[in-house]
Amino acid sequence: MHAGTMVRNLRLASGLVLMAFVTCHLANIILGIHSLAAMESWRPRLMGPWTSGLGEWLLLGAAAVHVALGLYALAARRSLAMSPTDVVQLVLGLLTPPLLLSHVVATYTAGEVSPEFTSTYGMMLAIYWSFSPGYAFQQLLLVVIVWVHAALGLYSWLVLKPVWRRISGFVLPVLFAIPILALVGFAESGKEVLEKLATDPSWKALLTDNIGRIVTFTSQLEVFQARVLLVYGALLLAAIGVLAARMLRDRMTPVTIAYDGGLAAPGRRGLSILELSLQNDIPHAHVCSARGRCGTCRVHVDAGAQSLSPLNDIERDTLARVHAGEGVRLACQARVLAQGVAVTRLLPPFADASAARVPQEWLADAAVPDREPAP
């Protein structure tokens, strides 16, 4: 497998592992709609596999790989020309680590700090709802942020698959239902915990005692959290720095490409054909948002093929899948390196995901229009 395809597949696989974990966690919280006891009795089945040796390594490995490849995806960009959905997905992904950190640290270290403190749902919920409502709000925000990010990623991958027609009626409602029900479960179980705190003095005393002990370690935990945040912030800044440096360097060399319909798009060297289209408001289909998966951005190169970056493995695979003809390139992968490029867009700008699922039903590449006006 080539490097580009491997990076893409690894990011997807690690994202799916993280999503499986988050789904188990949220499913456990949904049981709070029934009772705290139901949450606890299902905990070993839903969360147990992720806290055992192999599951824990899989989860930590997936988190490390996914964050690293997320930052790499940012650093590898050549412009900020993105669809609004992509901006949302990227920003939410980048916000996740800082928001998640205190929750992970609190859950994992509480047991170490205070041996009788097992981070059961009851204990954690009591902390959130009674002792630290600010954290409760942060958890709600975190559920929304992580889920929207992951659901957008899953959707944009699945929607291009032929199987989507059969599973969409099930997948879409589930994607909406899980976070909503989890928030209801969080609220319902929170109410139950507050009642228990009010009516069970011994439980309250145990909890207060444990929290008191944890508080004495808070400054150490805060130092640890601050260090992790500092490393993450430095990596994020480095990724942004690489992107900015590349944008500045390429700015020195302007290029212009010509399109069907007599259109032209000026820009800078190194941008993809699709980025030039988007920056110049030239209508251009791009269903998978430049991930090289859908093939809807493909163009016929009418002139200047030698002024484009060479075919990469992702592009080669997708062109083969859509049975693209001679001289066809993916506009999102082919970067413009010099003047003299002229292209014809092969699919209308309104092409949707069905053009990726059943490419044969859309415009046949063989019938390259003779630089006809674009639709």
Binding site for ligand HEM (CB under 6 A): 11-12, 15-16, 18-19, 22, 66-67, 70-71, 73, 89-90, 93-94, 96-97, 146, 149-150, 153-154, 157, 291
C-beta of 59 vs 258, nearer to ligand HEM: 59
Residue 207 found at the interface with ligand FES (CB under 6 A): no
Dist CA 37 CA 72 (whole Å): 43
**Residue 294 binds which entry of ligand HEM, ligand FES, none, CB below 5-8 Å type-dependent:** ligand FES
Rounded alpha-carbon distances, angstroms, from residue 252 to 15, 107, 248, 249: 37, 50, 7, 6
Residues from 326 through 345 that contact ligand FES (CB under 6 A):
330, 332
Nearest residue to ligand FES, by Cβ distance, number only: 332
Among ligand FES, ligand HEM, none, partner that 122 touches (CB below 5 to 8 angstroms by kind): none
Which residue, 97 or 304, has its beta carbon nearer to ligand HEM? 97
Of ligand FES, ligand HEM, none, which one does residue 345 interact with (CB within 5 to 8 Å by kind)? none
Q: How far is the CB of 231 from ligand HEM (least distance, A)?
A: 13
Letters for 42-81 (x = contact with ligand FES by CB under 6 A, - = none) are ----------------------------------------
> Shortest Cβ distance from residue 11 to ligand HEM (Å)?
4
Q: In terms of CB distance, is 149 or 268 closer to ligand HEM?
A: 149
Q: List strands edge to edge, sheet with 264-268.
A: 264-268, 254-259, 341-345, 298-303, 328-330
Which residue lies nearer to ligand FES by CB, 265 or 288? 288
Rounded to a whole number of angstroms, the minimum distance from the CB of residue 155 to ligand HEM is 9
Q: Which residues pair with 191 in a beta bridge?
A: none
31 belongs to the binding site for ligand FES (CB under 6 A): no
H or E, element range at 68: helix 53-75
- Per-residue tokens: 253: 């060399």
Centre a 10 Å sphere on the Cβ of residue 232 and count the other Cβ atoms it contains.
Answer: 16
Under DSSP, the state recorded for 306 is: G
**Sign of the CA dihedral running 35, 135, 119, 18:** positive
Q: How far is the CB of 94 from ligand HEM (least distance, A)?
A: 5
Nearer to ligand HEM, 212 or 241 (CB): 241
- Segment 249-308, which members bind ligand FES (CB under 6 A)? 286-288, 290-297
Q: Compute the radius of gyration of the chain from its Cα atoms.
A: 25
Phi, psi of 246 (to 5 degrees): -65, -40
Q: How many residues bind ligand FES (CB under 6 A)?
A: 14
Neighbour-count burial for 117-147, b at 16+ CB within 10 Å, e otherwise: beeebbbbbbbbbbeeeebbebbbebbebbb
Rank residues 130 and 296 by Cβ distance to ligand FES and give the closer one: 296
Nearest Cα neighbor of 254 from 267, 241, 242 is: 267
Nearer to ligand HEM (CB atom), residue 90 or residue 343: 90
**DSSP codes, 170-198:** HHHHHHHHHHHHHHHHHHHHHHHHHHHHH
Q: Residue 36 region, left (φ>0) first, then alpha (ψ -120 to 50), else beta?
A: alpha
Choosing among ligand HEM, ligand FES, none, which partner's interface includes residue 70 (Cβ < 5 to 8 Å by kind)? Answer: ligand HEM
β-partners of residue 300 are 328, 344
Binding interface with ligand FES (CB under 6 A): 286-288, 290-297, 318, 330, 332
